[in-house]
Amino acid sequence: MRLSSRRDENELRSLIKKHIEGMVRGARTLTKYRRASIGFADAFDSDFLRLRTFANPSHRLPTDILRGARTVVSFFIPFATEIVVANGGHPFVAEEWAIAYSETNQLIEEICSSLAIKLGREGVKANWELPTHNFDQESMVSYWSHKSVAKIAGLGSFGLNQMLITDSGCAGRLGSIVIDALITPTPKSKTESCLYLVDKSCVSCVERCPNHALTITGLDKHKCYQRCLEADKAYAYLAESRGLYGPFDVCGKCSIGPCSLKNPVKA
């Protein structure tokens, strides 16, 4: 869809932001959230092609998700402080964190589905990828990396923990949706948001990794996922007792630290 004026673009941007923020604010979940962050990327940004070189040759392009793609909308839903504190103090994985992972994945799907319907009424086409389990089980590499997409959309930069650190931290979940209308991209971050990458003053994520999958030199994704599968097994009962949408293959210890709730470099 081609927007006829700058006003039309601003109205569309406002509609998208209000819809995402409103659904997060009004979510009927056990999990509490802080305010969502939203960014926009040009569907033809060269960084999408670079993901095929540096991340995965099969990484999808926005046009693979939606024919006629013009813009990628990325959003970050940050967990409330008490959820981060609970997981940080738990010897394994806090139940609150497992619930948050499950509920937020479901919320992201609901946001994308309902937003696509709303946009459709405005003549804008949209499509999206699932918030999780869109990766190759052998290589452990994503076909559509929500973290990388969020970086391209100006929501933050990567840290030593391999997470995207936004101005609201990294403890939360990311989603994205591709639309066929052009919205001016959000400027990309030009600075680091990880204390280790700035001056090597923090290795909290490495120290907290329970099975040493994360090191200063990188992440052993298979080792990491094995730990996550232990949590999935431990919290499988939540599917019945709480009626939650599984799986619960999550750990999150690398999200606990100075970058959990904010960008520590800006603080």
107 within some domain:
yes
Whole-prediction pTM: 0.95
Note the pLDDT of residue 56.
84
263 within some domain:
no
**CA 144 to CA 53: how far, in whole Å?**
14
Domain count, the chain: 1
84-127 confidence digits (pLDDT tens):
999 999 999 999 999 999 999 999 999 999 999 999 999 999 99
162 within some domain:
yes
Q: Give me the percent of the chain exceeding a pLDDT of 90.
A: 88
262 within some domain:
no
Peptide bond just before 131 cis, omega within 30 deg: no
* Number of C-beta neighbours around residue 14 at 10 A: 10
| Segment 107-114 long-range contacts (CB within 8 Å, at least 24 positions apart) | 107/23, 107/24, 107/27, 107/29, 107/77, 108/77, 108/173, 108/174, 108/175, 110/23, 111/19, 111/20, 111/23, 111/24, 111/75, 111/175, 112/175, 112/177, 114/19, 114/23
243 within some domain:
yes
Beta strands (DSSP E) in the chain are 37-42, 71-78, 126-128, 157-158, 164-165, 172-179, 214-215, 218-219
Of 110-119, 143-152, 209-218, 236-245, the poorest mean pLDDT is in 236-245
Q: Could you tell me the residue range of the domain that residue 68 belongs to? A: 6-255
* Number of C-beta neighbours around residue 184 at 10 A: 12
99 within some domain:
yes
25-49 confidence digits (pLDDT tens):
999 999 999 999 999 999 999 999 9
- Which residue has better confidence, 134 or 97? 97
264 within some domain:
no
**CA 253 to CA 70: how far, in whole Å?**
36
267 within some domain:
no
Q: Please name the residues in contact with 250: beta carbons below 8 A apart, sequence gap of 6 or more.
A: 93, 97, 98, 101, 228, 231, 232
